[in-house]
Structure 1
Amino acid sequence: MKLARLTIGIVLVGLAIFVIVGEQLAGTSANAFINARLTTTKAPIQGHLTLEPVAIGTRIRSEQTLGFLDDSLVDSSRLNDLLAERARAEAEITRLEMALTATRSAVSLLEERARLYGRERLRQMEAELAASKSVEEAWRAQLRLYQMMLERSSRLSTTGIETTSGLEQAQSRVDVAQRELERAQAQTVAISVGLDAARRGVFLGDGYNDAPYSEQRVSELQWQEQELSAGLAAQKAILEALRRRIDEERLTINRLSHASLEANVNGILWTLKAANGETVQRGQDIYQLVDCESTIVTLSVTEGAYNSLELGQPAQFRPTGETTVLDGVIIRLAGSGAQNVYQNLAVGPSQEHLGRYDVALSVPGLLGDDKLRCGIGRTGRVFFEPRPLDWLRKFWR
């Protein structure tokens, strides 16, 4: 009986020593803390800064407005030049439209005048043709009369009743009448030619061109109308281009004279780099936010433990004061003196931390815990190896 008790005691003592030694010798880190990436908002323009009354450490949602920038001294000289060019273009368009209206009115009046002239000129030439034909008929009748008189004088001359002088006069009258008839016929032909040409729109004769003055003037004004129409279309295109440039310049001035400062992440207002009411320059830092979506765990370990670690190796993180153990994976092995890797993180390393070897973990479980999701600076322990009591801790999770 005593031997059994002694054996059981030795086993229990050995088990306790195994648990204590195993717990202590397992790869751990006692200075692990929750960290996250910083995002810095810079002034997009220069101007007067107005910040919303948001305290440092306040939870911020993405696209939340945190302030405004206003610049009342933005340069608008380019916009003023464009507005002056637009006014000149509009004045030129008005002038061209008035000139085009006057030209079209003059063309309409001259066309009506040309139609009236052509109609009345045709009537005149038709009357001249009729008169010429009448003259021609009159000389034809006169020629027949003189021919009859010549025949009579010729018969009388053979009988000695009519003198030679009378016969010669009769012959002369016939010759003159013949010439006059030919002249009248030629004039009739000339008038007919002119009338046919006039009916086709071409006027012939002394003192006339191929078209009357009204038609010539209409042609000139129609050419001028085409030039004015082309100039008007060009000015309208220029005006449209100026309007687009003015709209673009106004948008540019609006962007340069007013800017809204909005959060680009869901996180915490970490630091303010400029004060409310301050005049800031373009590119100057305004504030920094902690991106709670990028939460990681940073820690340092001894050289021996560091050399046993690998990227992608699983690990466990237990926040201080919590019984919950969260699974993670190694995402960075930065080594000793890794101060540069903390330049864009919310919590920097201590001198003791820099004297050891830096490790970073991705712990997805932090994002699902509202208390730890943005628990920047919260400390804990990280375990890299299985421990003897892990099976018991599973019942406490």
Structure 2
Amino acid sequence: MRFTRLILGILVVLAALWIIVGEQMAGASGDAVVNARVVTLRADTAGRIAMPNRLLGSHVEIGEGIASVDDALVDVIRLNDLRMERAFLDAEAGRIEADLAASGAILEGLKTRGETFHARRLEEVRTRLSHARARLALLEERGAVDAGEQRVVDAVDPDQDRLPAEPVLFELALDHARERVEVLEIALAAAEAGVFLGDGYNDAPNSEQYAVVLEGEIAGLEASLTETRQRAEAVDARIEREEVRVNTLRGGQIESPVRGLLWTVLQSDGVTVQRGDPVMTLVDCASVMVTVPVSENVYNRLEIGQEARVRLNGSSEVLDATISRLAGSGAATVYEHLAVAPSQQHLERYDVALTVPALRDAGNEGCMIGRTGRAFFDDRPFDWLRGF
């Protein structure tokens, strides 16, 4: 019985020593801090800034307007010149359209006159041919009656279709009548084909000739109108680019590029800022991480991608984490764009950054910048108990 108690006592002492040594030797860190990247918003242009009053730490969403800059002295001379040039092109296009409308009306009138001329000209040739055939028939009939006898008759003037004063032989009059019929038949065939034969004038009436000239002028006006409209489109494109430039220089809303927290305000409402001046800083809650200092002994056992666990002070929940950066000792520069700067004691140790998915996925509600806790890199004897 005495040996049993001795053995149990030794086992209890060994178990206690194992627990104490295991808890103390496990890789762990104190002063773990929830941190995140800081985004600095700058003025896009010079001007007077308008900034609504917002509490530090208030939530902001992506695309939310936080401030605005307005420059009332932006140069718009070039934009005004382009708009004036566009107005001139509109006036020119209107003039060309009016000329086209007037020329079109004149052309329609000329075409109507040409059609009337064609119809009446055909009617005239057919009438003259009909009478020429009748005269020829009379002469041929008379020639058949008086065959063999030489007769003297009055000839027909080829131009005026009237009897001249001097007499000519009957055979000459008959030949002239036949010639007249043949010439009129040729003229009729040409007229039916749209060509009018005559001495001293062209094959088309004056109205038709002028219509041809007018059609050329209308084609030129249409080409000029097309050119003017294309120039107007080019000026419109230049005006659009100039408006973008002027609006950019005039200023506008400064929108949040991240979902996070308003961290610092660097300007006051109503002050004049220059292009590129910092206006405020925001914390990007999508980049939440945990920064921890560890001893050299623990640091040298760590690797990027290694699993770890984090427990925030005041919470019993243990969060899974992954080592994302090993910055070593004196890592002051890596904190230049982070929300929480390291303490002097932190910089004297070795810096480790942890990615904690549970904090990142929580959004603004889990953006608990500045919360402290502890990080663990090895299993500990009481981990099974902490799970409860």
Structures share fold, TM-score greater than 0.5: yes
Percent of counterpart pairs with the same letter?
A: 41
Q: Structure 1 residue 213 and structure 2 residue 202: aligned?
A: no
Equivalent residues of 2:33, 2:371 under 8 A apart: yes
Q: Structure 2 CA distance, aligned partners of 1:122 and 1:367?
A: 96
Q: Deviations over 1:19-71 (max 9, x none)?
A: 44443333332232221111222223332211121122223333332111222
Q: Structure 1 residue 287 and structure 2 residue 287: aligned?
A: no
Equivalent residues of 1:146, 1:174 under 8 A apart: no
For 1:40, the equivalent position in structure 2 comes to 40
For 1:224, the equivalent position in structure 2 comes to 217
Q: Structure 1 residue 23 and structure 2 residue 16: aligned?
A: no
Q: Structure 1 CA distance, aligned partners of 2:285 and 2:168?
A: 130
Shift of 1:394: 2.9
Most deviating of 10-19 and 359-368: 10-19
CA gap 1:339/1:372 in 2 versus in 1, 3 angstroms:
farther
Which residue among 269, 278, 281 is the counterpart of 1:276? 269
Equivalent residues of 1:150, 1:174 under 8 A apart: no
For 2:382, the equivalent position in structure 1 comes to 389
Structure 2 SS opposite 1:45: coil
For 2:292, the equivalent position in structure 1 comes to 299
For 1:79, the equivalent position in structure 2 comes to 79
Q: Which amino acid aligns with 1:353?
A: H
For 1:349, the equivalent position in structure 2 comes to 342
Q: Deviations over 1:80-135 (max 9, x none)?
A: 23322322222222222221122122222222222333333334434444554565
Most deviating of 74-83 and 204-213: 74-83
For 2:303, the equivalent position in structure 1 comes to 310
CA gap 1:126/1:64 in 2 versus in 1, 3 angstroms:
closer
Equivalent residues of 1:74, 1:257 under 8 A apart: yes
Superposition TM-score, scaled by structure 1 size = 0.80
Q: Which amino acid aligns with 1:28?
A: A
Equivalent residues of 1:50, 1:67 under 8 A apart: yes
Q: Which amino acid aligns with 1:295?
A: V
For 1:54, the equivalent position in structure 2 comes to 54
Which residue among 345, 349, 359 is the counterpart of 2:352? 359
Q: Structure 2 CA distance, aligned partners of 1:76 and 1:145?
A: 103
Q: Structure 2 CA distance, aligned partners of 1:21 and 1:142?
A: 157
For 1:122, the equivalent position in structure 2 comes to 122
Q: Structure 2 CA distance, aligned partners of 1:130 and 1:365?
A: 111
Q: Structure 1 CA distance, aligned partners of 2:341 and 2:70?
A: 34
Most deviating of 89-98 and 122-131: 122-131
Q: Which amino acid aligns with 2:289?
A: I
CA gap 1:330/1:198 in 2 versus in 1, 3 angstroms:
closer
Q: Structure 1 CA distance, aligned partners of 2:185 and 2:26?
A: 131
Structure 2: unaligned runs, 5 residues or longer:
152-165
- Figure out how many residues of one structure are paired with residues of the other and give that number: 374
Q: Which amino acid aligns with 2:273?
A: V
For 1:90, the equivalent position in structure 2 comes to 90
Shift of 1:259: 2.1
CA gap 1:58/1:150 in 2 versus in 1, 3 angstroms:
closer
Q: Structure 2 CA distance, aligned partners of 1:115 and 1:324?
A: 101
Structure 2 SS opposite 1:265: coil
Q: Structure 2 CA distance, aligned partners of 1:174 and 1:329?
A: 133
Q: Structure 2 CA distance, aligned partners of 1:3 and 1:371?
A: 62
CA gap 1:182/1:49 in 2 versus in 1, 3 angstroms:
same
**Which one has the bigger helix percentage?**
1
For 2:325, the equivalent position in structure 1 comes to 332
Q: Structure 2 CA distance, aligned partners of 1:24 and 1:111?
A: 111
CA gap 1:371/1:138 in 2 versus in 1, 3 angstroms:
closer
Q: Structure 1 CA distance, aligned partners of 2:289 and 2:150?
A: 143
Q: Structure 1 CA distance, aligned partners of 2:199 and 2:362?
A: 110
Structure with bigger gyration radius: 1
User: RMSD of aligned C-alpha atoms?
Assistant: 3.5
For 2:161, the equivalent position in structure 1 comes to none
Q: Structure 2 CA distance, aligned partners of 1:273 and 1:120?
A: 93
Q: Deviations over 1:367-389 (max 9, x none)?
A: 57799833322222223233343
CA gap 1:144/1:340 in 2 versus in 1, 3 angstroms:
same
CA gap 1:183/1:261 in 2 versus in 1, 3 angstroms:
same
CA gap 1:307/1:194 in 2 versus in 1, 3 angstroms:
same
Equivalent residues of 1:42, 1:287 under 8 A apart: yes
CA gap 1:23/1:111 in 2 versus in 1, 3 angstroms:
closer
Most deviating of 322-331 and 7-16: 7-16
Which residue among 174, 184, 201 is the counterpart of 1:181? 174
For 2:154, the equivalent position in structure 1 comes to none
Structure 2 SS opposite 1:235: helix
Shift of 1:344: 1.9
Structure 2 SS opposite 1:293: helix
Q: Which amino acid aligns with 2:227?
A: A
Q: Which amino acid aligns with 1:341?
A: V
Shift of 1:330: 1.8
Equivalent residues of 1:147, 1:174 under 8 A apart: no
Structure 1: unaligned runs, 5 residues or longer:
152-172
Q: Structure 1 CA distance, aligned partners of 2:282 and 2:357?
A: 21
CA gap 1:145/1:304 in 2 versus in 1, 3 angstroms:
closer
CA gap 1:51/1:185 in 2 versus in 1, 3 angstroms:
same
Q: Which amino acid aligns with 2:260?
A: G
Shift of 1:346: 0.9
Shift of 1:278: 2.3
Equivalent residues of 2:51, 2:269 under 8 A apart: yes
Q: Structure 1 CA distance, aligned partners of 2:46 and 2:237?
A: 26
